[in-house]
Amino acid sequence: MNREAVINAFITAVNTYYSLEKDTMLALEKLLRIREIPAGTNYLSADEVPVFISYIYQGLFSYYFQYENGDTVIKKFFPEQTFIASTSALIMHEKSRYAIDALEDSIVIEYSFAEFKHLLQKHHDLALFWINYLGKHWVVEKEHIEIAHKYLSARERYQHFVGASPALAGRYSYSRLRLI
């Protein structure tokens, strides 16, 4: 693994939301930890209080809810070049309702949300990155998903997903999923 390439990919991803000042990026880099996560690893359990935000350099993760009867609802897949966390649980500092599993061998950059929040208070540009990230992924994208979940069946949502993201859909075996 090329540490410099991983860090550079992270910096590029952050700067797509808001371009950070050099001193801000240096402060943020001090929080970063690179981890290799084997396929099949439960990265976050439901009912666990999350502490990290992670940037996925390589790999694929599922973010899902599992009912007591074993039915699983995958809320979202997270491939390379995306950030993953149980964000609402992080913000509220409470147990996550969702679990996160590595579906492929993966490389992530993790950073502590508590330490990140401290940096947000000191670095205005980092706060603008966070606002832009949340706005895009937790407001704009989420609106469309919420409408689809209210009005489309699981089969229709799956068909839309395959049509819209065929490469991503091909990376995960759906044979164990039951479409209701």
Q: Tens digit of pLDDT for each residue in 28-84?
A: 999 999 999 999 999 999 999 999 999 999 999 999 999 999 888 888 899 999 999
How confident is the model at residue 17, as a pLDDT?
97
HEC secondary structure over the chain: CCHHHHHHHHHHHHHHHCCCCHHHHHHHHCCCEEEEECCCCEEECCCCCCCEEEEEEECCEEEEEECCCCCEEEEEEECCCEEECCHHHHHHCCCCCCEEEECCCEEEEEEEHHHHHHHHHHCHHHHHHHHHHHHHHHHHHHHHHHHHHHHCCHHHHHHHHHHHCHHHHCCCCCCCCCCC
Round to whole Å and give the CA distance between 106 and 80. 9
> Percent of the chain scored above 90 by pLDDT?
68
**Which is higher by pLDDT, 148 or 10?**
10
Round to whole Å and give the CA distance between 88 and 116. 15
Q: Between vectors from CA 138 to CA 132 and to CA 139, what angle results, nearest 5°?
A: 85
How confident is the model at residue 173, as a pLDDT?
59
Q: Parallel, antiparallel, or unpaired: how do β-strands 33-37 and 99-102 relate?
A: unpaired
Round to whole Å and give the CA distance between 94 and 97. 9
Residue 146 above 80 pLDDT? Answer: no
Residue 117 above 80 pLDDT? Answer: yes
How confident is the model at residue 140, as a pLDDT?
79
How confident is the model at residue 176, as a pLDDT?
44
**Which is higher by pLDDT, 164 or 32?**
32
Token duo for residue 142: 């989420």
Q: Catalogue all structural domains in the chain, each as residue range(s) with its CATH number.
A: 3-110+123-169 (2.60.120.10)
Round to whole Å and give the CA distance between 26 and 12. 14
**Which is higher by pLDDT, 148 or 49?**
49
**Average pLDDT in the chain:** 90
Question: pLDDT-derived band of residue 107, with 50, 70 and 90 as boundaries?
Answer: very high
The single residue listed with the structure tokens 């950059």 is: 109
Residue 142 above 80 pLDDT? Answer: no
